[in-house]
Amino acid sequence: MAQTQQLGPSGTPPVPHPDSEKAAALRRMKNIALGLLLFMAVVFCFAFALEHQFPWLSYVRAAAEGGMVGALADWFAVTALFKHPMGIKIPHTAIIPNRKDEIGASLAEFVETNFLSETVVAQKLATTKIAQKVGTWLAKPASAERVATEGAAALRGAMAVLKDDDVKDVIESMVRKHVLEPPWGPPIGKLAERIFAEGHHHALVDLLVDRSTTWIRANHTTISGLVSDRSPSWVPQFVDGLVGDKIYNEIYKFARAVQDDPHHEVRLQLDSYLKDLAQELQHDPAMIAKAEAIKAQVLGDPEVRELAGRTWETIKSALTEAAEDPNSELRLKFTAAVQEFGTRLVEDTELAAKANKWISDAAAYLVGTYKHEITSLITETVEHWDAEETSQKIELQVGKDLQFIRINGTVVGSLAGVVIFTVATLVFG
């Protein structure tokens, strides 16, 4: 009956494990080396038994004898690396299991000395042109979109990890440190002084004058009524009307005069007042104290806490929505910026050279500063390995090639045996 092959979970034949393949190859090479040794032993027996009848078999016996000696010697040497030959605890055998920690330390030192060298890393990176390669990859739309997608995922993760109260505390502390603790008067006065000196406030004054003039023109009844309401009851009504009209006309004429004349006395007086106010905010202790009092009224503890909360909620909401929406403006602009940066890395030689220099310097610094910590990973990992398992793993990796030593030892031993026997025969007869 034919044996059925066991299928994997997906219905396909299981993929052989790499260690299984290496173990099979190792067994095959061991069998070949052992078979060659047994062949030499059989040849030796026949040649030893028949050499008195056939003298030429003495050379065959010498070759087989030398081959057996070479095969056994190399078997012992190869086996002694991984275990005690035939279970006998001969000194200086089972080298790898007994000295795995020293081997790990030596390997780490070798890597640290020959690979994690600032000079070696800098020279390699100088010829790699990492910036251009990264730029070429980033310039592709699919790559830029992938970076944006991964960035959005990282942003969502950060938003989920961050605690709202902690972020609000940070924002509140920053507001207190950079907004509330410094006095407001001097910086506001300095900024106002510059604005007033350059005449940027004139547009606001023009707007206020225009809106005031427009309101006066449209509210004749309101202004006249104010006169009637405040006049004595014994004054005739028609007098109130005349006085009200007169006052309205004068107010309107005055407003139009201020509106039409850029150098009107009111405008000049307003400029003078604003400039004096700017100076007082900077140098007058009383005015500075008033500004601080206003600041304390406007931004007390509850207001600052509420401001921090609203600020964080707004930022968090905006970032979360932008991260979740592939077509959001932020995602699209970020993708375009990544793609543009990649194109610049490819086309701008100076920028690419600076980026490569920065990468090289950063890598050299990291290697120079942390190379011992990096190689300690090798030492610590080997120290935690089981001795027997370590020996088996290493034998799986290199054992197949080591079996060629046994085969070559058998062949070389045979040739050496023939040569030695021939020389001895020629010399001693």
pLDDT digits (tens, 9 = 90+) for 319-334: 888 878 888 888 888 8
Banded pLDDT at 219 (limits 50, 70, 90)? confident
- Token code pair at residue 11: 């219905």
Given a cut of 60, whether residue 15 has pLDDT beyond it is no
Banded pLDDT at 43 (limits 50, 70, 90)? very high
Given a cut of 70, whether residue 284 has pLDDT beyond it is yes
Q: What is the mean pLDDT of the chain?
A: 83
Given a cut of 50, whether residue 81 has pLDDT beyond it is yes
Tell me how many degrees the CA angle 238-225-216 measures, rounded to the nearest 5. 120
The residue-averaged pLDDT of 96-113 equals 82
| Selected residue with higher pLDDT from 105 and 232 | 105
* Share above pLDDT 70 across residues of the chain, in percent, rounded to a whole number: 91
Give the Cα separation of 339 and 95 in Å (integer). Answer: 55
pTM for this predicted structure: 0.51
The residue-averaged pLDDT of 358-381 equals 83
